[in-house]
Chain A
Amino acid sequence: MRHQAIVKTIQLGLRSLWLHKLRSCLTMLGLIFGVGSVVTMLAVGEGASQQAIDKIRKLGATNIIISTEVPKAKQKGRIRMKIFGLTNKDFESIAQTCDRVRHLIPARIINTQSMSKNRLKDIRLIGTKANYFQLIDQPLLTGRTLLDFDLEQRAQVCVISEKIARELLNNSHTIGQEILLKDQYFKVVGIIQSAEQTDQNSFTQPTDVIIPISTMKTLFGDSAIENKGGSTTWEKVELHKIYAQTYSTEDVEQTAKAIETIIEDNHPDKDFNISVPLALLKQTMETRRMFNIVLGAIAGISLLVGGIGIMNIMLANVTERVREIGIRRAIGAKKIHIVGQFLIETVVLSVLGGLIGILCGISLPAIITYFTEMPTLITSGSIILAFGISASIGILFGLYPAYRAASLDPIKALRNE
């Protein structure tokens, strides 16, 4: 059929849909729900996985994070003195054994407070080495980062984030000022960009203050005393974290395994945990793939139901319009014209339903995000997919009714009352 005839047929299709408004709406409902849920679920799924991927990517794809954990056995007991966690010995063994590691960085972390303008501020004190700055994704804004020299000298210097600088310094971009950390004065030598406020688990925090690990050990020791409900616990932890960065993503998993075997023997209590962002990323991808399959199946079923509904109505439509088909055939319409007419009408119905479904599918995620703060992401791909699906449903489920219409015997069709 020519372009003009198609346009005309679409017009007629819309008119006959308008003629049976309620019926058309009810028929489209299945498809509206189907397409709407496809777009919505894709948006929610996409948003969630994007968020997860972003978070994991921030941790670095070539990184391995080894953390001290409070061992289970010691968590329960009423033991006052706890000695556990990663040690410098672990650090040395890893450094000597693993050759695919580019940076190996120890870190001690003390959650403490800083005094400023007569107010206490919560900060997180990180004692580490100079190459820590190679690991984090926070560019230097002013001054310098820590140097090996600082570590050798056990210098009382610190690098702080912009956020801390604003809160603690008199003039937020002037380095060289001294600030009080715990109970010691440190000279600010550099200001780095603040880490994004994410959750507790992310390895950089906006309140990070970075000092040489040697200085930390000398000034604060490696034990912490905590008063909790009248009983005092004394914790001794040498290192809280060891960060290992490999040369490439291919080395990550193997190196992680190697590290585990190296330090396992020193820790019968299993008081450490190795986390590999890349593995998490892969796992997230896999979960997402599974999620997509399940989602696709659900959407497929609802679309199938919608399609069957459309086919049902179109069959009824054909039966209702047998006379019209007879008239058209008597006048000289070919079978292909009748097929075209009913097919286009079905596609008009399904595409209309699809478009309304897409509109629902676009607005629903926005509402979800507004009320639940769950991230959603509508990709143009999902909209094109939804549109394509609704058009193909029209064609697929319209073919049989259209074929039925075209294969009617003209003379019998004309006789039909």
Chain B
Amino acid sequence: MKPVIQIQDVCKTYFMGENKVDALKNVSMDFCEGEFWALLGPSGSGKSTLLNMMGCLDSPTSGTCLIDGIDVSTMNDNQLSDLRLSRLGFIFQSFNLIQQLTVAENITLPLFYQGWTEKESQERAIELASLVELEHRTDHLPKELSGGQQQRVAIARALANNPSIILADEPTGALDTKTGDQIMALLTDLNKQGITIIMVTHEPEVADFASHKLHMRDGIIEKIERPECAIKL
């Protein structure tokens, strides 16, 4: 399997005045095409920090992060934006929909930046909305939807640009178990279609949807579980 994201000896240190927080300590890890990863670990263990780094939103204090074999630190702001726009899809715990935009407009936001025409993106919006079973709510505003529906909109938005990697930070964190399972079913489906998924979660039941598991503690990788065997570090 071809590695899509390679983390090599990455450290991330936050300086808070006198205090120094090591969110990541010399982490190295390869994520390959088509895998479904769950990042587990207690609060503050550095899961979100790692995910944001893979999403080119954050940069490491030291070490390198490669996407498709290209060192992210060599790219400028515009190139990083382009990379996110063409290859990545984000799903957040708090949905992060833009409140004044309708469901359809939220879904097609990546297409707006890709320069799609109004007509093309409208068609795509309906296609994506029906994928998450919200085709009848495209003209609604996010606040008129339930949490689960909002997260489905967020997933549809993450899918709009046909990403090869989806990065999800606690996608079910704000949802009850039933709606959470619906979301997970959706993600599993997408993974079956070949999209690499890396997901942060607290809940072991949610993590069970994933094929691979990565346990973190205090900024280091504690344990990696692959489908064949569990490797203890």
Contact = CB atoms under 8 A, between A and B. Distances in A.
B57 A331 contact: no
A4 B88 CA distance: 25
A332 B85 contact: yes
B98 interface: yes
A120 interface: no
A190 B96 CA distance: 91
Contacts, number: 67
Given A4-B117, A4-B118, A324 B81 contact: no
Given A332-B81, A332-B86, A334-B81, A19 B100 contact: yes
B219 interface: no
Interface size bracket, B side: 20 to 34
Interface in B74-133: 77-78, 81-86, 88, 90, 92, 96-101, 109-110, 112-115, 117-118
Interface residues of A, number: 25
Contacts of A330: 55, 57, 84, 90, 96
Contacts of A333: 81, 85, 113
B161 interface: yes
B96 A16 contact: no
Interface string A26-44: 0000000000000000000
B47 interface: no
B109 A410 contact: no
B59 to A, nearest CB: 9
A303 to B, nearest CB: 29
A110 interface: no
A410 B100 contact: no
Contacts of A2: 115
Nearest to A19: B100
Contacts of A329: 57, 81
A324 B92 CA distance: 13
B84 A332 contact: yes
B157 interface: yes
Contact of A5 (B100, B101, B112, B161): B112
B188 interface: no
A337 B86 CA distance: 16
B35 to A, nearest CB: 22
Contacts of A337: 113
A335 interface: yes
Contacts of A336: 78
Nearest to B79: A334
B8 interface: no
Interface string A317-349: 000000110111111111111000000000000
Nearest to B83: A332
A381 to B, nearest CB: 37
A327 B109 CA distance: 10
B58 interface: yes
B179 interface: no
A331 B113 contact: yes
A411 B51 CA distance: 11
A15 interface: yes
A332 B161 contact: yes
A414 interface: yes
Nearest to A18: B100
Contacts of A332: 81-86, 88, 110, 113-114, 161
Given A328-B109, A331-B157, 12 more contacts: A4-B118, A12-B101, A15-B100, A323-B96, A324-B99, A327-B96, A331-B85, A331-B90, A331-B109, A332-B82, A332-B114, A334-B82
Interface of B: 52, 55, 57-58, 77-78, 81-86, 88, 90, 92, 96-101, 109-110, 112-115, 117-118, 157, 161
19 contacts: A5-B112, A5-B115, A328-B98, A328-B113, A330-B55, A330-B90, A331-B85, A331-B109, A331-B157, A332-B81, A332-B82, A332-B110, A333-B85, A334-B78, A334-B113, A410-B57, A411-B57, A414-B92, A414-B96
Give the 5 A-B CB pairs with smallest separation, nearest first: A332-B85, A332-B84, A334-B81, A411-B57, A327-B96
